[in-house]
Amino acid sequence: MATIELKDVNRSFGKGVGQVQALTAINFQAEPGELTLILGPSGSGKSTFLTIAGGLRRPSSGQVFIDGQDISNLSSRELDQLRLNKIGFVLQSYNLLPYLTVAEQFQLVDRVRPKGNLSPQELDQLLQELDIDQLKNQYPDQLSGGQNQRVAVARALYTNPAILLADEPTAALDSVRGAAVGREFKMLAKKKHKTVLVVTHDLRLKEYADRIFEINDGKIKQTK
Amino acid sequence: MFLAIREIKHNKLHYGLIIGMVALIGYLMFMLVGLMLGLANENTAAIKSWDTQTVYLNKDANENLSQSLISKQQAGKMNSHEALVGTVPVVLRKTSGHEAKQSIQFMGLSKSQYIYRNKLKITEGRKPTKAHEIVLDESLKDKGYKVGSHVKLNSQSTTYRVVGFVKDAQLNIASLAIGSLSTWQELKGTSNQFVASGILSDRSLSASHHRQLARYSVNQFIQKLPGYSAQNVTFEFMIGFLMVISLIVIAVFLYILTMQKLPEYAVLRAQGIPVKTLVWGTLAEAIILMVAGVVIGLVLTFGTSLAIPAAVPMLIKWPLTLLIGCSLVILGTIGALLPVRIITKIDPVDAI
């Protein structure tokens, strides 16, 4: 079963002559165990696509299913819970609170979601896999860009979500670190059976993707 | 609380400056309250320490004890809870030595009445028993007066002997010298026709008790003391403005800090962190900043109260000071409602 499904989704902004159609008749599915890449130029509608797929924004029309649940009519509070429980976000910047150590970033999640998070052993294993297990007591400003991004991935996975959504995760990274992030996402999809959806313009990530979609002028097309 | 404590610990200088500002505002407020109470006390210490409830003055005295004169006939019959008092401003000087003259109030009392018998708090020496004996307010000890000192009042040739010191013997920002009513008559230059300036009672009595005199409750009497109300209103305005300023300061600081953190908060909201966690974090931050600042302000006030010279009219009433401290914390928390409003409106979409 698809963990993310968009059916005939349209999204427009504004009204009357100033109305802009950001997404048109989007039909899309993302499956567990797959790394799906969404490519497209700036202004193509891929960020709007991500916000709708991630339950951050409602479509103007159409239906969005997360893990089989239609989220179109959920309240803001229910959407908060859905994102907290089922979706991990890795964003371009401001992923981590600057005044919390790496360990405290996870403690914050424990405070709002006391049950269902990774056990201490599972977290240690995840941090080892991401090669950041030595950084627990460091603050984000003491980490490199790549380390910050890996901590953000660990933070996103801490709630054991079915879905990992990433927005331009390699934008601030050099080619070596960008490739490392691509390999991590591939590993997460394959080994942890996550649905990994990455929105990016970074074509270097193409080689790690199972499926690739391109969005242009609000319309989506599968290219791989 | 989790977010608030960690953020404050991580940005010590940042938040230390805000705490410092709150501490200074609190310190200033506590000192002003101390000065207000100190000055008020110097106006009313004697009246209050004698548990006065009712004051009778001459009807034409314009509610002023110093301007009032009452005759034996006007005083009429008095009960055991009433006492004649005669006040007159005098200049006190020692017969020997070069100490500065002191402008004080002389108060004449009757030995047979309740104030003399029950209310004088002698801290050293004894009560005056003879015509040329007086007791002084204990603040005059700092001016070089001792038990056994010989003093003169105004330019009289009569020498008076200081036989003791009394606590809380102050009226209308002047220390009192307390002696007999006959001495008051001499100093006032009145004939025997006038027996006192007024009558004080430690009971709440009606106007019909002395029909020829004007009756005032103790609060009415205190409010009419020269300069008393104007002085208190001035202080109350200053303290009120400082409270409003503290509210604005904390609101502005937290507003600026919150605006700087909006991108982080948007990411947290996108990650599903409930808005109440962020709201409570901001309120907790305001409470911690205000409590820390107020506690430092209280410590500074306590230190100052120990070090300040006795001549400064400062009276710290800790229950009132703590109440004002709590009010500051509450106002600071109210000030945090402005950034809280912004937090509730954060759109998680802004994270993308």
Strand, coil or helix: B27: helix
Phi, psi of B266 (to 5 degrees): -65, -40
Structural domain includes residue A1: no
Structural domain for A218, as ranges: 30-59+74-222
Q: Is A138 on the interface with B (CB under 8 A)?
A: no
Structural domain includes residue A191: yes
CB contact under 8 A, B349 and A95: no
Q: What would the pLDDT profile of B195-223 be if each residue is shown by its tens digit?
A: 999 999 998 888 888 888 999 999 999 98
Structural domain includes residue A178: yes
CATH code for the domain in which residue A201 is found: 3.40.50.300
CB contact under 8 A, A95 and B274: no
CB B183 within 8 Å of CB B88: no
Structural domain includes residue A147: yes
Q: Which residue has the tokens 């020496």?
A: B125
pLDDT above 90 covers what percent of chain B? 41
Q: What is the pLDDT of residue A65?
A: 92
Structural domain includes residue A150: yes
CB contact under 8 A, A94 and B352: no
Mean pLDDT of chain B: 89
Q: Which two tokens stand for residue A198?
A: 């990455």
d(CA B136, CA B169): 8
Of B3, B264, B348, the CB nearest to A56: B348
Q: What would the pLDDT profile of A26-41 be if each residue is shown by its tens digit?
A: 999 999 999 999 998 8
Structural domain includes residue A210: yes
- Choose among B172, B140, B167, B146: nearest CA to B310: B140
Structural domain includes residue A17: no
Mean predicted confidence (pLDDT) in A212-224: 89
Q: Is A115 on the interface with B (CB under 8 A)?
A: no
SS (HEC) of B50-87: CCCCEEEEECCCCCCHHHCCEEHHHHCCCCCCEEEEEE
Distance (Å) from the alpha carbon of B5 to chain A's nearest alpha carbon: 10
Structural domain includes residue A157: yes
Phi, psi of B164 (to 5 degrees): 180, 175
d(CA A201, CA A93): 16
Taking a contact as any Cβ pair under 8 Å apart, which residues of chain A between 159 and 188 contact chain B? 167
CB contact under 8 A, B263 and A99: no
Q: What would the pLDDT profile of B234-252 be if each residue is shown by its tens digit?
A: 988 988 888 888 788 878 8
Complex ipTM, two decimals?
0.85
Q: Which residues pair with B125 in a beta bridge?
A: B164
Q: Which two tokens stand for residue B18?
A: 């805000």
Q: What would the pLDDT profile of A47-104 be if each residue is shown by its tens digit?
A: 899 999 988 889 999 999 998 889 888 888 898 889 998 998 888 776 789 999 999 9
Phi, psi of A101 (to 5 degrees): -70, 170
How many domains does the structure of chain A reveal? Answer: 1
Of B264, B270, B348, the CB nearest to A97: B264
Polymer length in residues for chain A: 224
